Amino acid sequence: MSASGKNVLIIGGGLAGLACAVRLHDQGARPWIFEAGDAPGGRVRTDVVEGFLLDRGFQVYLDAYPEAGVLLDKTSLDLRRFKSGALVYCGGRMRRVMDVFRDPRHLLESACAPVGSVSDKLRVALLKWRLSRTSIEEIAAHEDMTTEKYLQRAGFSSRMIDVFFRSFYGGIFLERELSTSSRMFEFTFKMFSQGSATLPARGMVEIPRQLSSRLPDGTIRPGARVVEIRAGGITLESGEQIAGDAVVVATDATAAARLMPATASAEPAWRSVSCLYFAADHSPLREAIIVLNGTGSGLVNNVCVPSDVSPDYAPPGQALISVSLLGMPEPADLEAQVLEELEAWFGSDVRKWRHLRTVRIERALPELESGVGLAGPGFRRHAGILICGDHLWSASIEGAIISGLRTADAVLHTSSITKRVP
């Protein structure tokens, strides 16, 4: 059927809502986004503070994401890569663990690093080879278990799990217990193996900004919180009522459960993260690499220097340091405690770092119901309303975009549409 003129009301201007709107617009429908916040982007935003670009929590775009890669113009995002591997702080020093298939210069150093045994490193290579031959659809059909159990079953030593996987995947899953679905582990491991972790040169916000720029002027209405929805329309907090041909809920999982209690979706548990930003007159690393806490104790999980990845993240002659802590620890002297911890990692220069901002994100990643991750259509339908978001495919940029695109396709293939103007 023709989608021409179909007015689709989308609640939420995160990546799922934006991807949905872009696909609808490209197919001739007319999307309208109602966003509660002051700008689109949802959990992918960047603030400018004293000329530094502060992403709202450290996050990366994996350039192997298949569907996001087709939707986004990666060239204009000007993606800057992290090195494939990490520095792991353990035993009082930094140990380098690199992907030796991409950077064989580090073969000896990586093989000898006391971060797991040589057979652990061979197991990593084997897993990389096996997952490179496994499609995402096949991963979605794999038996689901916790990542910890999966790694144990795969034969990794407890040292490798504790020193490397807990901190590396702790920074991705925002939990160190490795209780996240093994399918999600396989998916992210495959993405890291096939591509690189990247940052857009001008901050993560460039991703939603690019999607927003593909929509007609006036499509996105910021500051418009939706308080009620029905199959043919919505009500804003201001009391304004708007009618449309289709309604899509593209909020986070908690907001969706509150807007649509009848779907009986429980509000999910959330994983939280805190990110402390510091300015320095030089980088403690001078390379685009992620540093992990392999000690098993302390507040810090991972550190990087975004301005080493893209100089635009800091004003000329300065460096931006990003420090991630899992959860939301709230001691009054948090910055001082973090700096004291990092002095052991980077030396006394840390005392000269200047605290710029602490970003605390309570609802960073939803815990996915077992069996939901990567499987199913990526959206839900209830009483004529479609629901999408990262909680319905995978808690990631790729997951949000896939969910939004599939929801748009479902809207476009729904008949019995009448034309109304909001």
Residues from 340 through 379 that contact ligand FAD (CB under 6 A): 361, 364-365
Binding status of residue 191 toward ligand FAD by CB under 6 A: no
**The one segment of 46-54, 71-79, 215-223, 396-404 that binds ligand FAD by CB under 6 A:** 396-404
CB of 64 to ligand FAD, least distance (A): 11
The H or E element containing residue 341 is helix 334-346
Amino acid at 263: T
Do the beta carbons of residue 225 and residue 11 sit within 8 Å? Answer: no
Residues from 56 through 95 that contact ligand FAD (CB under 6 A): 57, 59-60
Query: Among 30, 389, 406, 408, which residue sits at the site for ligand FAD (rule: CB under 6 A)?
Result: 389
Residues from 210 through 229 that contact ligand FAD (CB under 6 A): 225-226
Query: Among 3, 10, 14, 205, which residue sits at the site for ligand FAD (rule: CB under 6 A)?
Result: 14
Q: How far apart are CA 286 and CA 132, in angstroms?
A: 31
> Between 228 and 281, whose beta carbon lies closer to ligand FAD?
228
Joined together, the tokens standing for residue 36 give: 């509660």
Amino acid at 6: K
Fill in the per-residue mask, 292 to 331: x = in contact with ligand FAD (CB under 6 A), - = not in contact: ----------------------------------------
Query: Among 161, 163, 255, 412, which residue sits at the site for ligand FAD (rule: CB under 6 A)?
Result: 255
H-state helical runs in 90-205:
107-112, 118-132, 136-140, 147-153, 158-160, 166-173, 182-194
Q: How far apart are CA 176 and CA 173, in angstroms?
A: 8
CA atoms within 13 A on the CB side of 250: 36
CB of 270 to ligand FAD, least distance (A): 10
Binding status of residue 396 toward ligand FAD by CB under 6 A: yes
Q: Which residues contact 403 (CB under 8 A, 6 or more apart)?
A: 16, 19, 378, 379, 388, 389, 390, 392, 393
> Between 13 and 116, whose beta carbon lies closer to ligand FAD?
13
Amino acid at 138: E
289 CB neighbour count, 10 Å cutoff: 21
> Between 290 and 350, whose beta carbon lies closer to ligand FAD?
290
Which residues are registered as beta bridge partners of 127? none
Q: How far apart are CA 9 and CA 30, in angstroms?
A: 9
Query: Among 15, 160, 325, 410, which residue sits at the site for ligand FAD (rule: CB under 6 A)?
Result: 15
Angle at 231 between CA 375 and CA 410, to 5 degrees: 35
**The one segment of 32-40, 72-80, 152-160, 239-247 that binds ligand FAD by CB under 6 A:** 32-40
Binding status of residue 34 toward ligand FAD by CB under 6 A: yes
Query: Among 22, 400, 408, 410, which residue sits at the site for ligand FAD (rule: CB under 6 A)?
Result: 400
Joined together, the tokens standing for residue 253 give: 């999982």
Do the beta carbons of residue 106 and residue 87 sit within 8 Å? Answer: no
Query: Among 139, 205, 397, 402, which residue sits at the site for ligand FAD (rule: CB under 6 A)?
Result: 397
3-state DSSP percent of the chain in helix, strand and coil, to 5 = 35, 25, 40
Residue in this structure with the two tokens 């995160």, named with its chain if needed? 14
Residues from 265 through 284 that contact ligand FAD (CB under 6 A): 273
Query: Among 94, 184, 356, 395, which residue sits at the site for ligand FAD (rule: CB under 6 A)?
Result: 395
**The one segment of 84-92, 251-259, 326-334, 369-377 that binds ligand FAD by CB under 6 A:** 251-259
Binding status of residue 42 toward ligand FAD by CB under 6 A: yes
**The one segment of 30-38, 86-94, 107-115, 129-137 that binds ligand FAD by CB under 6 A:** 30-38
Residue in this structure with the two tokens 């204009």, named with its chain if needed? 76
Q: Which chain residues interact with ligand FAD by CB under 6 A?
A: 11-17, 34-37, 42-44, 57, 59-60, 225-226, 250-252, 255, 259, 273, 361, 364-365, 389-390, 395-400
